[in-house]
């Protein structure tokens, strides 16, 4: 009897105590605020630049524009979390509803846009891999109209997966033992089933498949770029002069391929970091919003959202470094603002 009780007590022991949890969340929310604010600002700039370039000027520009818009919205949805954590720290313990409301109300919308970014990034990588492997078929297959349709389909897929959950979940205001009004997140039985399904599809299957596809596309692009570089080095000076026009035409494709490779590599690194934490939590017992390891659940997902915010905030710097067209439009916009 005593042995059984000891096992039960051990089974429900939290992996993180209250002190460590509080300190961890404070630090993670500071990081979240910095990266979310940075992501919001940098993606506003990205959207401005791509609009100035012409959103439908070519396929890759439209995809970059859509991804920047998705990153902008995901960054905006993260900002209330750290702000409400600070606001709640100034209140009495009986009235800390701000974080509860924002954390639950914005987590799924944030996930919608991070997963949309995931799908768009994967499409960009696959498209660029196709371009470097089958350059003669680019004009007939890779068209802006097709890219617009594909991006719209990806948006619809994500919304179909996530939106139905909100029909089976809601906020409930109740009185606690101290007669204070507290907010609770209530899920119906169907809501809990949908939440589990969303976690499996959006949290496990989709990200892991995306990591594999992005990695394969990156390997293909890098391999092809190396082969092209070796081919160019073998050209004689006479052939190089004769092929100057061809090289000028292919320089844009080469630049775009390098830009996509760098952005995809950064995405894979940050996404793997976030995915490993989530999968580790999935493998441990009672790591749920109401389980014994509730603290670990919130720490893991705060860390995962930090990696999301970091990725959303850095793309602008790669665009500036790698893309001459982006850099030219960027300088034009900010030069005109200075004047």
Q: Please determine, for residue 222, whether its predicted confidence score (pLDDT) is greater than 80.
A: yes
Confidence of residue 169 (pLDDT cuts 50, 70, 90): confident
The predicted structure's pLDDT at residue 7 = 40
Locate tokens 């493998």: which residue? 283
Which residue has better confidence, 228 or 249? 228
Q: From CA 332, how far away is CA 121, in angstroms rounded? A: 27
The predicted structure's pLDDT at residue 23 = 87
CATH superfamily name and code, 19-164+204-338: Rhodopsin 7-helix transmembrane proteins (1.20.1070.10)
Other beta carbons less than 10 A from residue 233's beta carbon: 7
Q: From CA 71, how far away is CA 56, in angstroms rounded? A: 19
Q: Please determine, for residue 133, whether its predicted confidence score (pLDDT) is greater than 80.
A: yes
Confidence of residue 123 (pLDDT cuts 50, 70, 90): very high
Task: List alpha helices for 199-293, DSSP H.
Answer: 206-234, 237-242, 244-283
Task: List alpha helices for 79-205, DSSP H.
Answer: 80-89, 98-133, 138-141, 144-162, 189-198
Locate tokens 């701000």: which residue? 98
Q: Please determine, for residue 245, whether its predicted confidence score (pLDDT) is greater than 70.
A: no
Cβ proximity of 35 and 313 under 8 Å: yes
- Per-residue pLDDT of 25-59, as tens digits, reads 889 989 999 999 999 999 999 999 999 999 988 89
Q: From CA 301, how far away is CA 137, in angstroms rounded? A: 43
Q: Please determine, for residue 78, whether its predicted confidence score (pLDDT) is greater than 80.
A: yes
């Amino acid at each position: 009897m005593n042995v059984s009780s000891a096992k039960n007590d051990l089974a429900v022991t939290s992996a993180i105590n209250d002190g460590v949890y509080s300190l961890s969340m404070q630090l993670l929310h500071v990081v979240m605020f910095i990266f979310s604010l940075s992501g919001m600002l940098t993606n506003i700039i990205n959207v401005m630049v791509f609009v100035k370039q012409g959103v439908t000027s070519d396929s890759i520009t439209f995809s970059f524009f859509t991804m920047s818009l998705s990153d902008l919205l995901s960054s905006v949805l993260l900002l209330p979390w750290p702000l409400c954590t600070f606001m709640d720290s100034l209140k009495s313990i009986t009235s800390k509803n701000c974080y509860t409301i924002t954390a639950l109300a914005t987590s799924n919308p944030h996930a919608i846009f991070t997963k949309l970014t995931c799908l768009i990034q994967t499409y960009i990588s696959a498209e660029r891999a196709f371009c470097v492997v089958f350059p003669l078929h680019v004009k007939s297959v890779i068209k802006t109209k097709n890219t617009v349709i594909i991006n719209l389909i990806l948006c619809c897929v994500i919304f179909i997966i996530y939106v139905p959950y909100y029909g089976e979940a809601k906020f409930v205001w109740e009185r606690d033992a101290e007669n204070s009004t507290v907010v609770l997140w209530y899920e119906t039985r169907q809501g809990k089933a949908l939440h589990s399904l969303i976690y499996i599809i959006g949290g496990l299957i989709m990200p892991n498949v995306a990591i594999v596809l992005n990695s394969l596309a990156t390997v293909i692009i890098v391999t092809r770029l190396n082969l092209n570089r070796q081919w160019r080095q073998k050209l004689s000076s006479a052939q190089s002069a004769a092929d100057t026009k061809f090289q000028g035409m292919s320089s844009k494709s080469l630049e775009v391929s390098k830009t996509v490779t760098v952005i995809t590599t950064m995405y894979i690194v940050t996404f793997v970091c976030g995915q490993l934490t989530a999968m580790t939590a999935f493998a441990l017992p009672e790591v749920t919003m109401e389980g014994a390891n509730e603290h670990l659940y919130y720490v893991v997902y705060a860390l995962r959202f930090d990696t999301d915010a970091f990725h959303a905030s850095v793309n602008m710097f790669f665009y500036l470094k790698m893309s001459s067209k982006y850099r030219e439009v960027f300088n034009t916009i900010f030069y005109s603002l200075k004047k």
